[in-house]
Structure 1
Amino acid sequence: MTNERHEPATTADERTMLEGWLDYHRQTLAWKCEGLTDVQLRTAAVEPSELSLMGLVRHMTEVERGWFRKVLAAEDAGPVYYTDEDPDGEFHLSESDTWEEAYATWQSEIETARRNAARFGLDDVSEGKHRRTGERFNLRWIYTHMIEEYARHNGHADLIRERVDGATGD
C-alpha cells in the first residue's frame, strides 16, 4: 500500500484544519482499499458480519450524502444503496457490485459535499434537519462528526484489510 495522505498543517486556521482532517480520513479509507480486487473488497471481516471494505465505502457514500446534501443543504437526495426494506443495503453486496462504481459514487458525493460546505461558514446552521431528530446543525458540528465517523470506520478498515491480505499500516 502506498500512502498518499496529507495531514493538515499544525498551525492551520480552524476551517482549514477541519477540512484537512476530514480529507485525511477520506484518503485513509481509499488507501485501505488500494490494490485489492473486487472479490477482496467484498470480503467480509468475519462471519456473521457482512462488514467489508466496499461496504464501508458505500456506507460513507450514504453518510456524506446524508450530512452534506440532506441535512446541510436540504437537498431532496434519496439513498444510493439502502431502502426502507433494506436499511443496511450498502453492506449487502453481490458479485455484480464493483469497486469502480462504488469508488466513483463515493468520490462524487465527496465533491458535492465540498461544494455544499463551501457555501456555509462554520457557525452557519444547516438548511435541512436530521431525519430522526429534526435537529439542525452548524457546519462545525457536521465536520467534527464526519471526522469521527471516518476515524471509527477506518479502524474497521484496518482490521478488514489485515484479514484480506495481511497488510497493516497506520
Structure 2
Amino acid sequence: MTWTAPAVVRTPEITVGDERAMLESWLDYHRQTLLLKCAGLTAEQLRTASVEPSGLTLLGLVRHLAEVEAWWFRENFAGETVDYPYFTPDNPDADHDVRRADAEADLATFHREVELARAAVAGRTLDETFTEVGPKRRTFNLRWVYLHMIEEYARHNGHADLIRERIDGVTGD
C-alpha cells in the first residue's frame, strides 16, 4: 500500500479573543493550511518540484517550516540548544533537498517541532524579549515571533497553493 499524507481538519481562526489567542489561532490556521496542501499526496508527489528552474516542493516547505519553528521559538526565544534535522553548516539549505527524504518521517518531524514550539512559549508573555542568535544580535519580543511566523507561513502557503495545483490541479482552501 502506498503511503499518503494524512487528511487534515483545519480549525477556523477565531475572530474574537484576546491578542494571544488570536495570534495562536492564526498561526495554527496557517500550520494546518500547509498540511492541508499536502493531504492525500504520495511521498513522490510531495517531492515533486513546482516548475523549473525552482526546486521548491511541498515536502521541502514542510521541512523548512519545521526548522523555522525550531529557530524562532526554541533556539532564539527559549534559548534551547536545537539539533536541526536537516540544516548543517556545510548545507544550510538541506531542508529543501528532498531527493532521498522520507516524507512520513518529515511530517512527523514537523508535528513534533510544532509541539516543541508550543511548549517553549507556554506561560510566557508576548512582551518577553530575547536577543537573536547569530551576528546581528537584534532584540525581539515573542509578539514579533508570532507575527513573523504567521507571515512566513502565509507566504509559503501561497507557494504551496501553486505547487499543489501543478501536481494534481487542486486549488483553494
Counterpart residue number, 2:90: 85
Root-mean-square deviation (CA), in Å?
1.5
Cα offsets for 1:123-160 (capped at 9, x unmatched): 0113x523241123111000000000000000000000
Quick check: 1:147 aligned with 2:150?
yes
**Contact 2:64–2:96 (Cα < 8 Å) also in 1:** yes
Quick check: 1:105 aligned with 2:109?
yes
**Contact 1:55–1:92 (Cα < 8 Å) also in 2:** yes
Given the two structures, how large is their TM-score scaled by the length of structure 1? 0.93
Cα offsets for 1:6-65 (capped at 9, x unmatched): 223211110000000000000000000000000000000111211000000000011001
The 4+ residue runs of structure 1 with deviation greater than 3 A are none
Pairs within 5 Å for 1:132-143: 132-143=135-146
Given the two structures, how large is their TM-score scaled by the length of structure 2? 0.92
**Contact 1:59–1:91 (Cα < 8 Å) also in 2:** yes
Question: In the TM superposition, what is the alpha-carbon distance from 1:78 to its structure 2 partner?
Answer: 3.2
**Contact 2:129–2:140 (Cα < 8 Å) also in 1:** yes
Pairs within 5 Å for 1:108-119: 108-119=112-123
Quick check: 1:157 aligned with 2:149?
no
Cα offsets for 1:71-107 (capped at 9, x unmatched): 0011111322121121111111123x12211111011
Structure 1 unaligned blocks of 5 or more: none
Counterpart residue number, 1:122: 126
Give the count of matched residue pairs: 168
Counterpart residue number, 1:23: 28
Question: In the TM superposition, what is the alpha-carbon distance from 1:3 to its structure 2 partner?
Answer: 6.2
